[in-house]
Structures are given as C-alpha cells and as structure tokens.
Amino acid sequence: MASSSPVKPEAGSVECDLLIRNGYVVSLDADRRIFPNGAVAVGRGLIVGVGTDREISGRFRPRTVLDARGSAVHPGFVDAHVHVTQHSTRGAFPDNLGFGNFTPYYTYWWNTVDDEDEYAGTLLACLEMVRNGITCFMEAGGVLEPNAAAAAVEAVGVRASLGDPLLWDVGQHAMATADHAVIKRAPPDRQRALKLLGSQLWRNRNADSLVRGHVALFGVGSASDELERAAKACADEHHAVLSQHQSFKSDDVAGDDARFGRHPLLHFAEAGVLGPNCAFTHMNIIRDDEVAAVTESKMSLIWCPAGSMNWGVGATSRGRMPELYQQGSNVALGSDSAKFGTTPQGVFAYLLARDRGGAQLGVEDVLEMSTLGGARAMGLQEQIGSLEPGKRADIVVRSADVPEAHPRLNPVQNLILAARSKSVDTVIIDGRIVVKGGHSTLLDEEAVYQRFRESTERILQRLGIRPDSKWPVIE
C-alpha cells in the first residue's frame, strides 16, 4: 500500500519504522478514544504514537507508510483458549455423537499424534489465527510436546502462551479416567503432574519472547486438592497465570458437587486457589452461592460461546458471563475446538447473550473481551490489548474492499458482526507485518496446507478411520 502525504513531518520529528495512516483507529485506550481519521506509529516493535492523522504524521518520519484507506485499525484479537494442535480432528470424527461417546475419540487421537503432527497442526491453527486477526492466544494445556507447538508459533509469528502438557491426577473426566481412554503420554498421575507443573515458565525469562508460558491443569474435575494447591502456588511463585477447564456442563459440575460436598467455586475459594492470576475456561454453570467467589477473587473467566452452544449447555444453565462482565469481572473469549475454526468469537458471544435473555452485550463489549479481556486473562495487560504508546505493536488493519465494511456509520459493529474475519488485510505482531493482503508474509501457505494434509492422512491411517459422509461419495 502506498500513500500520498499531504502532511509534512514537522521539524524535530522522530523516525519510526512504520506509520499506519488514514485509519478508523479504535484505540481501546483508557478513554476508549476513536480517531476516524487516525494514525498509528510503530518503532522497534512498540507503538510509539496514536492519534489523529494530522498530529501523528507531523510527529513521525516513517521508513514505511501503510495507507488504511479509511478502514478500521484495531488491537489484535486474543483467543484466550485454543487446543492449538487439534485441527486434524476437524471433520475426522462423527459429528452426531453425545459428549460421552465423543470424548474417547480425542483419547484415540492423543494416543497416535507425534511431534510432527503437533507441529503441523499448530502451524495450520496459527496461520488460521493470524489470517483472522488473532495476534495472541493462550494454549489450553492440551499439547503433548510444547516445544513442537512453540516452533510452529514462531514460524507463523503469532504471540502465544503455552501451558503444561495435560496435567491431571484424579477425576471424573471421561478423557482422563475411562479404562479404554487413558492417554498413554499423559496418564492421570500425581507424580507426573507435580513434576511438570510450570514446565513452560522458562519461556518468560526473556521479556521479548513471542512465546510465553503459563501453568495449566486440564481441570473439569481431574485435579486433586493437592495438585490444585500446588498449581496455584507454582503460578503465584513465578508471577504466572493458572489456567484450567472448569464448570463446563452439568455432568462435570455434578461430579465436583459430589466430591467437594459443595459447589466447586466455593470449595476453590476456601482452599485458597482462586486469585487474579487464575483464568478458568468455560465457567458456564455458576450457581448463586459461587458468584461472590468469582467476583471477589478477581479471577478471569474465559468464555467459549461456540462450545457452550455446541454441547447444549443452555438447556440446563443460562450462563452468567454478560452479567458478571457488567459487574466488573474480566471476561475473555476462546475458540476452544477447531470445529468452528480458530476465529474471533465475538459474534457468537453477542448472539448467545441475546438468545438467553438477561444481560445483553454491545459490540463494544465483545471487542473489549476480544482484546483487553484476553490480554488481562493472560497477564499481558501492560503489553497488549490496546493501541497505546509503550504497548507492543499487535495491530490489525482491515480492508475497505469488502461489502460488509460498508456503510462506515459504525465500523466497530461492521467488523464484529458483519465483516468478522473477511476484512482482515494486514496483521502486525510485535511490529512485524505477518499478514499482508490477507496472506502470510512469512510462510508458503500452500506448503503449510500440504504438510498438514499429510499429517492428517497419516493420523487417519493409524487410527483406521475414514470421515463419515451421510451422502454417497463418488470417487
């Protein structure tokens, strides 16, 4: 993209690497300022200026100029819960099974994947993320070989935090305990879990690293009190985040109620394992007496609206996310499984809130959850989540060349509800352009697809399954 430059840099202007001009800049700063004719200056991987195009163009002498042509410029989205290696399950398993019959497929899958499969899957998932405007993600604690995932993350150039590799030691979770369903490389084993807690935190020693680490338990009833306490202590000691699945649907919540003799969030609060560095995913079922435990702990809630709807959670619980968010809890969004794509979840959250009645969400709310909320859940609120001087330059520049971006009466509504991922043009992460014209600048995308298809084919052969088709397939 080129730009004519009607505004000349002023005397005394400073050099910068990149200047994004003529954007509808949605800053997400403390005052939520929007600059309809705005500019963002980037230098050494950081945002160095945000404001009106006239002001910023006068202050900086850029090496490169990017003309946003009036389209939206916003902080990159954060996907706060992704099973980043599991894209090869997409379309592989039957789609019409109940949850109990479905989860063993994942165990079979975990029992066959190798490091190359995890690398190829993560590569595809990360490519999908950046092309959809997601610049940072938190891995769900479901990767068997985090080093394989980390290599793929770096190749795509996305920001990430990786969790511990499937830690659990007791429990009711079908994937952890059913006789036919033990994951061989990650059995429910207290010694193994205690030994591996915090195994990814070494990545945080380098403050500039794109790939960070957090403490992760698998959760949903699969951790003893001893393991839960050890995980929280490990996270506290290293100023890290603790993530786990929690209170997903009626079955795991009933199991927790029975083993604790009370509702799980109450139990966790009394055990001292909740705090601002906790980021628990799903939290679809929160009873009245658990609300104070959630709000007073200042923990983050990672809402996966597609997963909630997919498993019919609304049949037994209306959910409280919009209400808790409006009461001040931090809510982030996660895509969870690959089934619906590693895409921003804002439109799902918006629609789910409306469908269930109760507290409603505006497009601004879901944009906050998708950016600031995710950053806060990952403990990265000082680094990312908004376009402000001093923050890392993780920026999405939209295209004006999609019908869904018009009219420009409310560009935030357009990008959350109508254009969604289709209008992503340029994606900048840590000051580096990783997507341009909608495509990766760092990778041969066709080679990524080929490598992933080959990996998936090998997995299917090892499992001895072929994807179902309800309709006749003519070869």
What is the sign of the dihedral through the CA atoms of 222, 224, 227 and 230? positive
CB 99 to Zn ion: min, Å: 13
Q: Which is nearer to Zn ion, 72 or 286 (CB)?
A: 286
Note whether 53 and 65 are within 8 A (CB).
Answer: no
Note whether 290 and 265 are within 8 A (CB).
Answer: yes
> What is d(CA 322, CA 325) in angstroms, rounded to the nearest whole number?
5
CB 173 to Zn ion: min, Å: 11
- Residue 110 contacts by C-beta under 8 Å, 6 or more apart in sequence? 144, 166, 175, 183, 185, 186
Note whether 87 and 120 are within 8 A (CB).
Answer: no
Q: Which is nearer to Zn ion, 139 or 430 (CB)?
A: 139
Q: Which is nearer to Zn ion, 339 or 458 (CB)?
A: 339
CB 281 to Zn ion: min, Å: 6
Q: Provide the 10 A C-beta neighbour count for residue 151.
A: 16
Site string for Zn ion, 284-313 (x = CB under 5 A): ------------------------------
CB 200 to Zn ion: min, Å: 17
Among the listed ranges 105-113, 150-158, 209-217, 328-336, the one in contact with Zn ion (CB under 5 A) is 328-336
CB 411 to Zn ion: min, Å: 32
> What is d(CA 472, CA 475) in angstroms, rounded to the nearest whole number?
10
Among the listed ranges 163-171, 263-271, 332-340, 343-351, the one in contact with Zn ion (CB under 5 A) is 332-340
The reply to whether 336 sits near Zn ion by the rule CB under 5 A is yes
Q: Which is nearer to Zn ion, 157 or 221 (CB)?
A: 221
- Residue 470 contacts by C-beta under 8 Å, 6 or more apart in sequence? none
- Range 125-164, binding Zn ion (CB under 5 A): 140
> What is d(CA 317, CA 333) in angstroms, rounded to the nearest whole number?
19
Q: Which is nearer to Zn ion, 338 or 428 (CB)?
A: 338
Closest-CB residue for Zn ion? Answer: 140
Q: Which is nearer to Zn ion, 159 or 245 (CB)?
A: 245
CB 31 to Zn ion: min, Å: 35
Among the listed ranges 50-58, 192-200, 330-338, 370-378, the one in contact with Zn ion (CB under 5 A) is 330-338
CB 437 to Zn ion: min, Å: 32
Note whether 198 and 240 are within 8 A (CB).
Answer: yes
DSSP string, 224-292: -HHHHHHHHHHHHHTT--EEEEES-SHHHHHHHHHHHTS-HHHHHHHHT--STTEEEEE-----GGGHH
> What is d(CA 275, CA 295) in angstroms, rounded to the nearest whole number?
10
Taking the C-alpha atoms of 423, 425, 427 and 428 in order, what is their torsion angle to the nearest 10 degrees? -130
Note whether 423 and 402 are within 8 A (CB).
Answer: yes
Structural Rg of the chain based on CA atoms: 22
Q: Which is nearer to Zn ion, 35 or 348 (CB)?
A: 348
Note whether 79 and 117 are within 8 A (CB).
Answer: no
- By rule CB under 5 A, what count of residues binds Zn ion? 2
Identify each DSSP E strand in 27-129 by its residue range.
34-43, 46-52, 60-67, 72-75, 77-82
Among the listed ranges 320-328, 333-341, 369-377, 407-415, the one in contact with Zn ion (CB under 5 A) is 333-341
Q: Which is nearer to Zn ion, 140 or 175 (CB)?
A: 140
Q: Which is nearer to Zn ion, 246 or 440 (CB)?
A: 246
CB 423 to Zn ion: min, Å: 28
Q: Which is nearer to Zn ion, 66 or 80 (CB)?
A: 80
CB 320 to Zn ion: min, Å: 19
CB 11 to Zn ion: min, Å: 55
Q: Interface with Zn ion by CB under 5 A: which residues?
A: 140, 336
